Amino acid sequence: MDLLIEKELLKFKTHVIDYASLKSILTNLGYSNVNNKIINLKQKGIIKDLKKGLYVHSSLLSKNLISKEIISNILLDNPSYISLDYALYYYGLIPETVYELTAVTAKRSRIYKTEIGVFSYKHIKKELFSVGLKIESNQIGNFVIAGIEKAVCDKIYLSKDVQLMSISSMSEFLENDLRIELEYLSNLDLSIVSEYYELSKSRKIRILLNLLKGL
């Protein structure tokens, strides 16, 4: 019977399934004690918890990889996009591998520690949410991520404990703290950074913009 369950789970291309959908599958297959079967599926590794009422299935019938990027977009009940350290790593701006999936939301900050990884969400004011976003794709589907400009701006804007008062301190932060080669930033779309500054009125973003103009 587990093979029949797996075939139904494979219909969910994102590998994410909620409790109501899983309950419907199991009920249609004749299971009367749905909750016990869900526990059994977890024990066998066929599904794993993401949060209460939401699971990811790791199919034994498919070699498709699970997309943490897509899960990040789905996991939070409110709209979010991938940004900060994970986005900087995704674009190859920072050398270290980033294992925590970092994202941004206009709602309150959250963090989910799951069996497949840690997903964190930082709050940003809603006026800044949609600036510089893009859609990326993988073999599973599409996900929303900050463009390079937005990811850099978000990292600087949301680093509240960092005092950046001059172009030299901004340059030092980017090169020494984040380990970003400044030459990688020389072709950024300054109109996006400028829009981010106009909406945020952040002194740090203004300094970043001035630095980028001089590259």
Rounded mean pLDDT for each run of 10 residues along the chain, 215 residues in total: 88 93 95 95 93 88 78 95 98 94 97 95 97 94 97 96 91 95 95 98 97 93
List of residues 6+ apart from 100 with CB closer than 8 A: 85, 86, 117, 118, 119, 120
pLDDT of residue 62: 62
Provide the residue ranges of all domains of the chain, joining segments of one domain with +: 2-57, 68-213
Phi, psi of 64, deg, nearest 5: -60, 135
pLDDT of residue 63: 61
Place of tokens 């977890």: 42
Nearest to 25 by CA among 44, 48, 1, 43: 1
pLDDT of residue 129: 98
Nearest to 116 by CA among 53, 71, 59, 64: 71
pLDDT of residue 66: 86
- With beta carbons less than 8 A apart as the criterion, state whether 109 and 122 touch: yes
Distance from C-alpha of 153 to C-alpha of 195, rounded to nearest angstrom: 11
pTM above 0.75, yes or no: yes
Q: Judge residue 36's burial from the number of C-beta atoms within 10 Å of its C-beta, 0-12 exposed, 13-18 middle, 19 or more buried.
A: exposed
List of residues 6+ apart from 144 with CB closer than 8 A: 73, 80, 81, 82, 133, 134, 135
